[in-house]
Chain A
């Protein structure tokens, strides 16, 4: 009985095992496609024109390579890790809070960049990003990234667009003369504690925070205190992008942390919203295509990684999802629908201001000991519950 329970909880343990790079076998040369490719992906990441006919970056790949693409969508990073632990997949579009777990859990294999002709087209800022480049080894091909922007209602703010996250963290009167109380939102996930920490980096430098994901007890408590103030301002936390879109339309919301995805959809509907990169900087997410250690279709997998970098995929996906391509040329060379203006709007030029999501662990790099993620979860639940 104990054994069963132990194995069922194995994937949870993988989350906290320290990162230990390994010298797994790397593919050294490519052959013909195996005829199939199985990918674990976020919803909306692998589109074949079925949701909207204009957005298709699979059919062309299948015709060119003969690899039939099967997609299994996963809604959380934990689900992705669990699916990869089960096996039977070739690739996964892992976010920063899942990628290192899978490297540590030996679920993914190193990538031979010389087998990916377009590797050099990748944004230099991403080529050796710490969420997939571990101890000199590449564990994946950068896919997409996006910032968590400050979205606001242009009718309420008028000409004076907000410049700081203070509109969602501290009580104040907005340019329309009314209080922000009940008119701002915050992300309904523990990772939002990092947004509070990021704000404190500017406003309380004496705390000495160097990374919003690596907080000691004192820094962490300060972030929670700030979030308790925020609780008095927030009427509802957002969790689902479409609910936030609805709230900006029907609940008279003034400002909130958000994704370019919601802003694009709202603007597409003619809603009076816009967004800024506040002066404190922003948090964000970056995803990587990683390859299963026991991939049965390695040739198709490498072909897909090349496809992500060289085809219309990056360009169209960045429009579709309101995110930024890992290949800068995809913004400008017209291979898909994305334009330079679109990339700018999605925050392409603000990369340096983005602190990308990673899972907080107790043995952190920047200081002695940090508050681990599972405490972020329970404490954020407490904050939202009014504690």
Chain B
């Protein structure tokens, strides 16, 4: 089966800045694919390269097997949900949703019907005659979604679409988007800097840093088996143990990741002093200084929490220490 999207050596440079630096990537049809990374890591530029808003400096893009490297946005079978929604303020909700159909030349009645159906799909029946300025943030987001989906794209691109919503609404939308994607069976390419969002939604996740992909894999892969210290740190704020320390512990000369929630207090190979403590609600996070290497430890509610300045010993179950062989730093 042909990949929905595929990049070969794709680069996008802005002057000296390598926003995207020779990236190879394949996104399957029907896949919920997440581009994850901190701001400036190149994930959004990647999305814009797919949409056609940016022209690559080098490399090629194929969309369903067709070379789209030089195709303008309006010739690509993909649609985008923008971070700021980019709704047209001078059009009402229905005309916003029907915009793509209108420029395509659909008859007025047909596009009205399609637009209303798309609005129903995002649970906004009856909002067609309002202006975007009369809607809440969540509602605007749904309009943006309906406007893209009414075009029946083969790939839907979402650029941090939930960033502006409050926590509760965001969680609700995460679920809805996931359901919608399964229901439609098309590929979603979803950009986010929130690793929780990436892990909960993605079929696969690509972690970006400095214009390059650090790791591509299932959420479990990138969370439990990070391939680089960056991935370990960025995804789930894992402890990254230096190669020296790992050598002392297990005799291998490579950095390793150790999840804060995998560490137990009371017995083990490492000893240190508690020098920070933060209550998180469902758990308490402490930071232990072991000869200069600071380790985060998550103690679930109900567990015994040591005081600041206490000396503690740290241990973990076998397999929790993930050696990052492939990392070169």
Is chain B in direct contact with chain A in the complex (CB below 8 A)?
A: no
